[in-house]
């Protein structure tokens, strides 16, 4: 069984699950991830994420109709509200093929957008400059939530999200919040267990370009732990780190912001 901790954007991960918002004591939950998980399809939009607040973005596009976007699973025929704490620019909600906006959710320069998801099980939330052309644009604290009213902003929290009703693993284990929390704790414990294995020798291997490829660690002549690295060919940044030992493997995959800084990581446990 493979468990992937960050499973929000199914354009990034391999086995996506459909998520929906569950009630949390009557308070709504933000369905939007930080901008580190949005797609930057137009480099000329020049988006920059605030290093102190990943729900804050500025942009200086040199062309019209440039935007950033994120895919969000939704419940069909359900009312949602999209709001921002502040912005100069346009927000919109489009269908999953990004060919047209949902009724009442076209490019909006001020105020909130309340819309019905209709037949859709996923939508794209966009922020951009529409046809206004070059300029200085910004957006702070976007929030998508159930209902027809905007509530106080809060960042999305994975533990507040639950899989679609009836979802199970391949062996039939219910994918509810409690089991997902157990799985995440298991990944962390497995990683620490591998890192804590006792070894007495280490043999590194290198790529032809000098980048570290693999470290094989042994104890009394037997292999105890193997760490393998892969790199992004374009810029040489670390792509994955796979640590194996005692029958357990944990693979960490790294993602990066447009400016090259580390944006986040996901872990797969096998």
List the CATH number of the domain containing 75: 2.60.120
Sheet holding 222-231, edge to edge: 3-4, 262-269, 248-256, 238-245, 222-231, 212-219, 201-206
pLDDT of residue 89: 92
Last residue of a domain, one of 95, 127, 162: 162
Residue 4 lies in a domain: no
Domain that holds residue 50: 18-162
Nearest to residue 66, comparing CAs of 94, 96, 46? 46
pLDDT of residue 2: 27
Residue 238 bridge partners (DSSP)? 231
Q: What is d(CA 71, CA 122) in angstroms, rounded to the nearest whole number?
A: 7
Residue 170 lies in a domain: no
Q: What is d(CA 92, CA 115) in angstroms, rounded to the nearest whole number?
A: 10
Q: Beta strand pairing status for 161-163 and 143-146?
A: unpaired
Specify the length of the chain in residues. 270
pLDDT of residue 181: 57
Same domain, 155 and 204: no
Q: What angle do CA 53, 59, 61 make, to 5 degrees?
A: 165
Residue 127 lies in a domain: yes
Residue 209 lies in a domain: yes
What are 257's two structure tokens?
């912001």
pLDDT of residue 163: 55
What is the count of structural domains for the chain?
Answer: 2
Q: Beta strand pairing status for 3-4 and 67-73?
A: unpaired
Question: For residue 134, how far is the Cα from the chain centroid?
Answer: 28
Same domain, 225 and 142: no
Residue 91 lies in a domain: yes
Q: Which pTM does this prediction carry?
A: 0.56
pLDDT tens for the 270 residues of the chain, in order: 222 223 333 333 333 444 444 444 445 678 888 888 888 877 788 888 888 888 999 999 888 888 899 888 888 888 999 999 999 999 999 998 888 999 999 988 889 999 999 999 889 999 998 888 888 999 999 999 888 999 999 887 655 555 555 555 556 666 665 665 555 555 555 555 555 566 677 777 777 666 778 888 888 878 888 888 888 887 778 888 888 887 778 888 888 888 778 777 777 777
Strand, helix or coil for residue 63 = coil
Same domain, 199 and 156: no
Answer for the pair 194, 182: CB distance below 8 angstroms, yes or no: no
pLDDT of residue 170: 55
Residue 13 lies in a domain: no
């Amino acid at each position: 069984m493979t468990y992937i901790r960050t499973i929000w954007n199914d354009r990034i991960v391999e086995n996506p699950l459909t998520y929906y918002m569950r009630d949390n004591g009557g308070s709504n939950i933000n369905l939007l991830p930080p901008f580190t998980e949005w797609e930057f399809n137009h480099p000329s939009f020049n988006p920059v994420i605030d290093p102190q607040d990943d729900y804050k973005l500025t942009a200086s596009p040199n062309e019209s109709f440039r935007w950033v976007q994120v895919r969000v699973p939704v419940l069909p025929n359900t009312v949602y509200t999209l709001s921002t704490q502040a912005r100069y620019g346009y927000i919109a909600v489009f269908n999953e093929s990004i060919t047209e906006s949902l009724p009442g959710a076209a490019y909006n320069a001020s105020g909130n957008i309340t819309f019905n998801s209709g037949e859709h099980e996923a939508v794209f939330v966009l922020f951009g400059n529409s046809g206004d052309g070059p300029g200085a644009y910004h957006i702070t604290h976007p929030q998508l939530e159930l209902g027809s009213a905007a509530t106080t902003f809060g960042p999305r929290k994975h533990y507040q999200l639950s899989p679609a009703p009836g979802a199970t693993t391949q062996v039939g284990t219910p994918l509810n919040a409690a089991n997902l929390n157990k799985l995440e704790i298991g990944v962390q414990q497995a990683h620490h267990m591998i890192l804590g294995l006792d070894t007495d020798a280490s043999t590194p291997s290198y790529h032809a370009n000098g980048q570290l490829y693999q470290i094989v660690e042994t104890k009394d002549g037997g292999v105890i732990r193997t760490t393998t690295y892969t790199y992004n060919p374009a810029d040489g940044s670390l792509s994955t780190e796979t640590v194996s030992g005692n029958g357990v493997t944990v693979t960490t995959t790294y993602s990066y912001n447009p400016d090259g800084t580390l944006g986040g990581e996901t872990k797969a446990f096998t």
